[in-house]
Amino acid sequence: MTPFSFLTASEIRFGRGEAMRSVARIVELANNKPVLLIGGQSAQRSDWLATTLTECGCDVRRMSVAVEPDLDVIERGLSEGDGVGAVVALGGGSVIDAGKAIAALIPAKRPIMDHLEVVGRGLPLDVAPLPFVAITTTSGTGAEVTKNAVISVPAHRRKVSLRDARMLPDLAVVDPSLTDHCPKQITLASGLDAITQVIEPYLCTKANPFTDALCRDAIPRGLRALNILMQHEDEAARDALAYVSLCGGIALANAGLGVIHGLAGPLGGLTGAAHGALCGALLPHGLEVNARAVRDDHFGSRIEDVRQWIARELGGTPESAFETLAAWSRTHGLQGLDELGLCDADLNDAAHAASTSSSMKANPVALSYDDLAQILKAAR
């Protein structure tokens, strides 16, 4: 068996009610110092946690992250977080990425750009991050169990990562009740992101027995849950999709991704579109190009598994599974790349940037610039 390593958050708590039950652990991690609580656009969604922490004797500072984090957001967080003992992020992937980066950089001795990949120097952190707690309110990114934070750098029109194994949260809380009644379009985009993040690690060159075990169960489970949620609200489906999202975060952190994320990263910087929507738009077309290009029986068999799972959960035949997925996504309101902001002038930039993306390194087959351009055109 090929050797592998496996990393994830220090502690994961999954289940309804776990967010409230985790308050005592947050107080412990803060160690009698203030807590920086980072929430999303609506402050009301994190009021309950601020109130409960205050009742437990914590001095709580609050910050909102309304959009995907950029350098200005991180700088603001560093100012707000001066002197805190722990950082808590309650929200979707953008909020968690912001919190992860802020917890990592408050103690840092170097400027932010020294640590950013691609557009910066990519230097490792010189000081360990502050204690960090991630409480997710969407089922998509799996950011609560990954070691990197994605940050937008508008001057370069790129989204890049701040990455360090010590950035894995000290506590990751996945409480599916926090996702109940999430709007349909956010559920669709984030759910397709979660599904992408169990499909790509299953197909990638760095898959291992642990990630395979997670992904084989999670891919059909996620497709089934998302299909149900596009029809009506369902508590069991919310639980299932939250679990799939968690599996995706663990799998991508320990196996890798592929062409979908290789393209979605540059596209996010170029268009400003939500990451989950980009992944959903790209997924069927990236799978189709990989299926045509792959020559290895091992990866061919895995692609066939994915075809079978899609056909079983969404209908149609395995042979037409990727077309079925594309049509199903559009039927439920997923936008194409043109609607998400891709213009002709950006297509070449996106394909070139993707060809050097770290995500592409684990794709099951080497793809050419023409292959990447074909995916982009098909997803428009």
Q: What is the pLDDT of residues 283-313, one digit of tens each?
A: 999 999 999 999 999 999 999 999 999 999 9
pTM here is: 0.94
- For residue 195, what are its two tokens? 């599904």
**Domain segments of the chain as ranges:** 12-178, 183-378
CATH number of this structure's domain 12-178, picked from the four choices 3.40.710.10, 1.10.230.10, 1.10.3300.10, 3.40.50.1970? 3.40.50.1970
Give 89-121 pLDDT, tens digit per residue. 999 999 999 999 999 999 999 999 999 988 888
Tell me the pLDDT tens digit for each residue of 322-378: 999 999 999 999 999 999 999 888 888 888 888 877 788 899 999 999 999 999 999
pLDDT of residue 97: 96
Rounded to whole angstroms, the Cα distance separating 116 from 237 reads 37
Can 12-178 and 183-378 be said to share one CATH topology?
no
pLDDT at 192: 98
Q: Compute the distance between CA of residue 216 and CA of residue 208 in angstroms, rounded to an integer.
A: 12
Give domain 183-378's CATH architecture.
Answer: Up-down Bundle (1.20)
